[in-house]
Amino acid sequence: MIALDQLRSSPNALASHYSRFRVSERLLLTGHSHQAWPDVAVEGQLEALDDAARHVDAKWDRAAAKAEEVAAGFRTWLGDPGAEIALGASTHELVVRFLSALDLRRRPRLVTTDGEFHSVRRQLARLGEEDIEVVRIAAEPVGTLAARLAEEVDAGTSAVLVSMVLFETSRIVPGLDELATACADDDVELLVDAYHALGVVPVSLPAMGLSDAWVVGGGYKYLQLGEGNCFLRIPQHADRFRPVVTGWYAEFGELADEPDPRRVSYPTGAGRFAGSTYDPTSHYRAARVFRSHDELGLTPTLLHEVSRHQVGVLMHAFDELGFPEDVITRDRSVTREAFAGFMALRCADAQDRKDALAARGVLTDSRGPYLRFGPAPYLSDDQLREAVAALAV
């Protein structure tokens, strides 16, 4: 089992478990976008190949078992052991299934923010071209965002779509429980994007007042699962919805009674939002990585502590550089606890600075005016300081 102080030293005690990604040799500060996979991930990849070779088309029972392992893993990170989980290759495909279940003819209004990730931003923009009213609320100031979204909820609104953590700035959105209450009062669906929360901030959907919310996210970032591992957590009242975008996997299991044989049937629970034939390799890999987390003691509590410490190291290292605020700055209006898993620096030349850092061997990324430094639990404190110091070169 790994202890927090072992993850601060050089070399980091976890680094040897990520040797294929050479994390001890490289300054990979893209942990908020794509974390390295542990070496054991290859065992999952090979198991998928072996099952396909040995069992051919009979492999699907084994693949289904892996999918259930992945769903169980997401339940743990959501703090919701009884959650119904639909899986998908991307959050976009799951959001599309969700949107297709809404009665947009009767309630053609969607409320969201201008701080949502592109998979939602682009899709809603396109719907806005088809007589769907899309209301975008300014993400700033974040402290009042949930309340301002709640003010926009009315009888013509089908859903509110908002992130738990904003992808550009790493700011945690407070007050989602009050937004959930406002949505419930008007029978409006609430979809929360938890992608930038899982693995770096404590999440317990019941404790957060989000038991009736739809929650989307995935494991490509902080959970180290790689591509193809996303989920839609289904609230208990979901059985009244009939998604128009529906895969034939939704015909598996016990179907709801349908008096009209010409009417498409749906099962209860997460199967209602199932897709179709997919590449199960991603689930084999994710299941093995989730087991690796258990073996190494990488619990939600520990990884939250690691993230809070590492982002604090990055912020302190940046502050010591003494950049003028009109050149490059970070948000100091709130405490460290208001941020999730990365440090966002605002500057006019974010893309150029990202490219310059890459030329010096420091991998970061940029989103609009924000240069983002994303740590990961396999990096040492010295690596974090070295990465930030490269800004001054």
Q: Within a domain: residue 35?
A: no
Can you tell me the distance from the alpha carbon of 20 to that of 40, in angstroms, rounded to the nearest whole number?
A: 10
Same domain as 313, residue 206: no
272-276 mean pLDDT = 96
Q: For residue 11, is the peptide bond before it cis, meaning its omega torsion is within 30 degrees of 0?
A: yes
Q: Within a domain: residue 294?
A: no
Last residue of a domain, one of 257, 289, 321: 289
Q: Within a domain: residue 218?
A: yes
Same domain as 176, residue 146: yes
Same domain as 58, residue 164: yes
Q: Within a domain: residue 153?
A: yes
Contact 174, 151 (CB under 8 A): no
Same domain as 225, residue 245: yes
Q: Within a domain: residue 38?
A: no
Same domain as 336, residue 273: no
Same domain as 218, residue 88: yes
Last residue of a domain, one of 251, 268, 289: 289
Can you tell me the distance from the alpha carbon of 21 to that of 12, in angstroms, rounded to the nearest whole number?
A: 14
Reported as a single tens digit per residue, the pLDDT across 312-362 is: 999 999 999 999 999 999 999 999 999 999 999 999 999 999 999 999 999
Same domain as 170, residue 59: yes
Same domain as 304, residue 282: no
Full residue range of the structural domain in which residue 374 is found: 4-30+299-392
Q: Is the pLDDT of residue 133 over 90?
A: yes
Reported as a single tens digit per residue, the pLDDT across 11-54 is: 899 999 999 999 999 999 999 999 999 999 999 999 999 999 99
- In DSSP notation, 132-179 reads -EEEEE---SGGGHHHHHHHH--TTEEEEEEESB-TTT-BB---HHHH
CATH number at 374 reads 3.90.1150.10
Reported as a single tens digit per residue, the pLDDT across 106-131 is: 999 999 999 999 999 999 999 999 99
Contact 132, 108 (CB under 8 A): yes
- How many C-beta atoms surround the C-beta of residue 382 within 10 A? 14
Same domain as 326, residue 255: no
φ, ψ dihedrals at 222, nearest 5°: -70, -20
CATH number at 113 reads 3.40.640.10
Which residues are within 8 A (CB) of 372 and not within 5 positions of it... i.e. 6 or more apart? Answer: 32, 33, 168, 170, 342, 343, 344, 345, 364, 365, 366
Question: What's the structural domain count of the chain?
Answer: 2
Same domain as 61, residue 24: no
Same domain as 219, residue 156: yes
The model carries a pTM of 0.95
Same domain as 317, residue 278: no
